[in-house]
Structure 1
Amino acid sequence: MSGRAAIFFDRDGVLNRDAGYITHLDDYKLYPRSAAAVRCVNEAGLLAILATNQAGAARGYFPVEMIGRVHEKLEAELARQGAHLDAIYLCPYHPSSDDPVLAVDSDLRKPKPGMLLQAAKDHGVDLERSYMIGDKYSDMECGWAAGCRGAYVLTGYGRGSRDHFGGGWAREPDICAEDAYHAVQLILEERNEGKR
């Protein structure tokens, strides 16, 4: 597919602190360098797209409407710092939900690549030239399943998960970075070197 490259960002633990399920807007805290990371993607002419599992709604921890309010706050904070997301994709579903509307084994739920595949259709994304940034191995699996490279960050669950598994994953992430900003810098270097 010929199209624009995108950087897909997971949300919790990548752009903002992961303090469990966000049930109040006050719980939402953007990491200090997240807006700069997104702004660098914008300035490089790449698409900045959020792809986030939000099963807390399906599990009854917060109403589905809370997801929209959190994303409004995220977009406002990014805008204040000169950055923007080109699109937001989310999966509020979980097969174990008591809510029949949300009790779905959805192709959107990472590690399945549904959100990235939908973004590719909607925005003409060239997935082979794109990257998925995440703090969980399931983010890497999602990116790889869609044909992207995976950039693993040590924020959120990243450091603990890496230390727990001791690098014994079936496939190592293509990039490992301290945070989303560092990941974007490494991605842009890789692109400048003509690797992607």
Structure 2
Amino acid sequence: MQKAVFLDRDGVVNIDYGYIGQIERFDIIKGTALALKKFKDMGYLTVLVTNQSGIARGKYTYSDFLKVTSFMQANLSLYDACFDGIYCCPHHENAYVEQYRVSCECRKPKPGMFYYAERDLKIDLHHSVMIGDHATDLFAARRAGISSLFLIGEHLKEESPLCPEAICYKTIGEVVEFIRKNQ
């Protein structure tokens, strides 16, 4: 079984401009590629787990998401930092696009995407880590059995009281250093 670092996308990996379905609006946060590479060098798989309600809301298509994902992976490949697994939930209970109007088990704060990754990549969830920018990211990870929870980004003031067991940092680079020192 392999340990993994799970990461949310918007606000963690890239700047969150809201409903990012076009390459032109996708900007990787400075230091992210290097941090992902360091996680890999420490023996972690890197796994993206992202709610993409913009698909369900008709803001962009699943195909658009795949194009942005390919663009992201191509950029990360320059640093040997590609994600080992990518899981997306395009669903929303109040979706505009009928095929995505589903009450699913994969939309965070539910843990479905973590279980899919566990099965597909042979991940040991107990020894894995979650990095998110919202408490719902961490709730999903906790429900899946992940106890190392990190909250980062622009929403710390509002989100940290919702998940008091989370360790809070401003950047993913700070999380890498914390884990490296405490392995």
Name the TM-score class by shorter chain.
over 0.9
Alignment-derived partner of residue 166 in structure 2: 174
Q: Give, in whole Å, the separation in 2 of the partners of 1:142 and 1:112.
A: 5
1:183 lines up with 2:182 in the alignment = no
Change (3 A) 1:164 1:49: closer
Alignment-derived partner of residue 81 in structure 1: 79
Can you give the 5+ residue segments of structure 2 that lack an aligned partner in the other structure?
A: none
Alignment-derived partner of residue 164 in structure 1: 158
How far apart are 1:187 and its partner, in Å? 2.2
How many residue pairs get aligned? The number is 182
Whether the 8 Å contact between 1:140 and 1:173 is mirrored in structure 2 is no
Alignment-derived partner of residue 67 in structure 2: 69
Secondary structure of the 1:151 match is strand
Change (3 A) 1:57 1:86: same
Can you give the 5+ residue segments of structure 1 that lack an aligned partner in the other structure?
A: none
Whether the 8 Å contact between 1:8 and 1:132 is mirrored in structure 2 is yes
Whether the 8 Å contact between 1:152 and 1:173 is mirrored in structure 2 is no
Whether the 8 Å contact between 1:127 and 1:146 is mirrored in structure 2 is yes
Q: Give, in whole Å, the separation in 2 of the partners of 1:64 and 1:55.
A: 10
**CA distances 1:87-127 after superposition (whole Å, capped 9, x unpaired):** 10010011111322101111110010100011111111111
**CA distances 1:64-93 after superposition (whole Å, capped 9, x unpaired):** 111101110110110112212101001001
Which 4+ runs in 1 deviate beyond 4 A? none
Change (3 A) 1:80 1:172: same
- Give the AA of the match of 1:150: L
Query: Cα RMSD (Å) of the superposition?
Result: 1.4
Whether the 8 Å contact between 1:21 and 1:61 is mirrored in structure 2 is yes
Secondary structure of the 1:49 match is strand
- Give the AA of the match of 2:155: G
Give the share of equivalent positions with the same residue, in percent. 32
Secondary structure of the 1:101 match is helix
TM-score by length of 2: 0.94
Secondary structure of the 2:100 match is coil
How far apart are 1:40 and its partner, in Å? 0.7
TM-score by length of 1: 0.88
Q: Give, in whole Å, the separation in 2 of the partners of 1:11 and 1:23.
A: 12
How far apart are 1:133 and its partner, in Å? 0.4
Change (3 A) 1:98 1:174: closer
